[in-house]
Chains A and B, each alone.
Chain A
């Protein structure tokens, strides 16, 4: 199984509530995926500044003094906001690659969850309710966000095996299903220069899309390509800096329900996840068609 939720706000007045709405949607999907949970939330951000979300099993020691040390190493001002096992580092956008390299040296046990001007990613092992409380997701605002509750099939239940996966700037992907050609595809992508943190099939899908985008495709085209190159079951929800997309494999046995009003576009693995959204009674509710790419952008 696995549960997916997504919310793309059209009405700016709802932005302060994004985290609260997503948290409730995510917790509703607990029985589809009680192993681990995660969210990617897009918002805030200052032009020229990137947010690098990092994770550590020993946050007290790893995060202590990191912003100053990292700032000194890359020659830029770095600030950090710690949330439990995660921290968001604010670094100049042009210094992200340098910061990644410096982090590997300064704190080899720290993992980078994702980076970009708008994205923050939080994911941990445990029940979704514990995960959203740990990071206080309900207090977060933003323009759009994606969440996932995991019932593991293809790789171990670990923090890094939780979704969302981010393999490119401001990009993330969550997945319900299982891919059968991910090992071959991973080898091809490694030859192409992509790097992997896990044995997980979804990370391959995320890297596949990032690779296509790096080769000049837009997200819509990359999702179209995935329909030819990925073998297996998938309902994907992807996030970019400004947008939110959905695609399902041709068989489409993994469930998906969408709702749209003047205020938002919402995704849920089940209608239950959408049942408490404002104005849902009058929303257009439908199931996304198989092999069809859906995309919304601000």
Chain B
């Protein structure tokens, strides 16, 4: 299985100065526009954003294999729709970090607010602190690794992908979940409708081992996690429930 430690491995050679964008001097639009004008990603792979001060939509729509270091905390939707880029937030992220990301990697060194990785279709989102409520809501193939805890209603209607939590999960984990896999190392305050604990088989240990390695986490073992997923009882309409509609 492919196994690259994206969180800790330097992806770019630091033998030249990064392209620096100071958001106290330029507009966010100028920076986000520059992300689309990359001609040769390999030749300009090292980007840096200064003074984000909680700005919204930082590095939304990045599409090239470049590395973007955001020096500070960001607001809503950082890294939304990301493709190929590796975005590192050296601070905390507001609501919707990595929303609908397609590929690439987003690493949040601090905490993430609600609905981190919502509707994400691919790539890896690593949150080194805690994630708030609705983490991975409606996830559709993204992999999310949270070093701390996650809040209530996480993985609500999650469809595919993996959510890995080293700490605890809040109320109603995996409510109305489809086929996503949820791995929690700590406690789960409560499970949502149709979400159940499942056995850990060798293939799940392998998936977890790969994700932990790619997230740069070496101090916990895959065997310490429990797996949760869909009981699949909500997949088909049950005539006995007709009165509820």
The judgment on whether A and B are partners is: yes
The answer to whether B18 has its CB under 8 Å from any CB of chain A is: no
B:23-60 near A, CB below 8 Å: 53-55
Q: Which residues of A have CB within 8 Å of B114?
A: 252-253, 255
Residue of A251, A271, A286, A290 near B54 (CB, 8 A) is A271
Q: Chain B 217-244 against A: per-residue CB contact (8 Å), 1 yes, 0 no?
A: 0000000000000000000000000000
How far apart are B93's CB and chain A's nearest CB, in angstroms? 9
If A270-B94, A271-B92, A271-B94 touch, whether A287 touches B75 (CB-CB below 8 Å) is no
Q: Which residues of A have CB within 8 Å of B151?
A: 252, 290
Residues A287 and B113 in contact, CB atoms below 8 Å apart: yes
Chain B interface residue count, CB cutoff 8 Å, equals 18
How far apart are B168's CB and chain A's nearest CB, in angstroms? 13
Residues B92 and A290 in contact, CB atoms below 8 Å apart: no
The answer to whether B136 has its CB under 8 Å from any CB of chain A is: no
Q: Which residues of A have CB within 8 Å of B214?
A: none
Q: Which residues of A have CB within 8 Å of B53?
A: 272, 275-276
If A285-B92, A287-B111, A290-B152 touch, whether A271 touches B133 (CB-CB below 8 Å) is no
Q: Chain B 61-91 against A: per-residue CB contact (8 Å), 1 yes, 0 no?
A: 0000000000001011000000000000000
How far apart are B7's CB and chain A's nearest CB, in angstroms? 22
- Name, among A251, A271, A272, the residue most crowded by chain B CB atoms within 10 Å (CB to CB): A271
Q: Chain A 266-280 against B: per-residue CB contact (8 Å), 1 yes, 0 no?
A: 000011111110000
Residues B113 and A252 in contact, CB atoms below 8 Å apart: no
Closest A residue to B51 using CB positions: A275
Helix, strand, loop or mixed for chain B's interface? loop
Residue of B75, B132, B152, B153 near A271 (CB, 8 A) is B75
Residue of B92, B95, B153 near A255 (CB, 8 A) is B95
Residues A290 and B133 in contact, CB atoms below 8 Å apart: yes
Residues A287 and B54 in contact, CB atoms below 8 Å apart: no
Q: Which residues of A have CB within 8 Å of B152?
A: 252, 290
Q: Chain A 244-270 against B: per-residue CB contact (8 Å), 1 yes, 0 no?
A: 000000011101010000000000001
Q: Which residues of B have CB within 8 Å of A287?
A: 111, 113, 132
Q: Which residues of B have CB within 8 Å of A286?
A: 111
How far apart are A189's CB and chain B's nearest CB, in angstroms? 30
How far apart are B175's CB and chain A's nearest CB, in angstroms? 12
Chain A interface residue count, CB cutoff 8 Å, equals 16
- Name, among A253, A273, A275, A287, the residue most crowded by chain B CB atoms within 10 Å (CB to CB): A287
Q: How far is the CA of A271 from the CA of B133 in the complex (A)?
A: 17
Q: Which residues of B have CB within 8 Å of A273?
A: 54
How far apart are A69's CB and chain B's nearest CB, in angstroms? 49
Q: How far is the CA of A251 from the CA of B132 in the complex (A)?
A: 12
Q: Which residues of A have CB within 8 Å of B95?
A: 255
Q: How far is the CA of A255 from the CA of B132 in the complex (A)?
A: 11
B:127-177 near A, CB below 8 Å: 132-133, 151-153
Closest B residue to A274 using CB positions: B54
Residues B55 and A255 in contact, CB atoms below 8 Å apart: no
Q: Which residues of A have CB within 8 Å of B133?
A: 252-253, 290
Q: How far is the CA of A293 from the CA of B61 in the complex (A)?
A: 38
Q: Which residues of B have CB within 8 Å of A252?
A: 114, 133, 151-152
A:83-117 near B, CB below 8 Å: none
Q: How far is the CA of A273 from the CA of B94 in the complex (A)?
A: 12
A:217-242 near B, CB below 8 Å: none
Q: How far is the CA of A286 from the CA of B112 in the complex (A)?
A: 10
Q: Chain A 28-45 against B: per-residue CB contact (8 Å), 1 yes, 0 no?
A: 000000000000000000
Closest B residue to A281 using CB positions: B72
Q: Which residues of A have CB within 8 Å of B111?
A: 285-287
Residues A272 and B75 in contact, CB atoms below 8 Å apart: yes
Q: How far is the CA of A252 from the CA of B111 in the complex (A)?
A: 17
Q: Which residues of B have CB within 8 Å of A257?
A: 113
Q: How far is the CA of A30 from the CA of B94 in the complex (A)?
A: 17
How far apart are A278's CB and chain B's nearest CB, in angstroms? 14
Q: How far is the CA of A186 from the CA of B55 in the complex (A)?
A: 39
Residues A270 and B92 in contact, CB atoms below 8 Å apart: no
Residues A255 and B113 in contact, CB atoms below 8 Å apart: yes
Q: How far is the CA of A115 from the CA of B147 in the complex (A)?
A: 48
Residues B54 and A270 in contact, CB atoms below 8 Å apart: yes
5 pairs from A and B in contact (CB 8 Å cutoff): A272-B54, A272-B75, A275-B54, A275-B73, A285-B110
Give 5 new A-B contacts, CB below 8 A, not counting A257-B113, A271-B92: A253-B133, A255-B94, A272-B55, A285-B111, A287-B113
The 6 closest A-B pairs by CB, nearest first: A272-B54, A271-B54, A275-B53, A275-B54, A271-B73, A287-B132
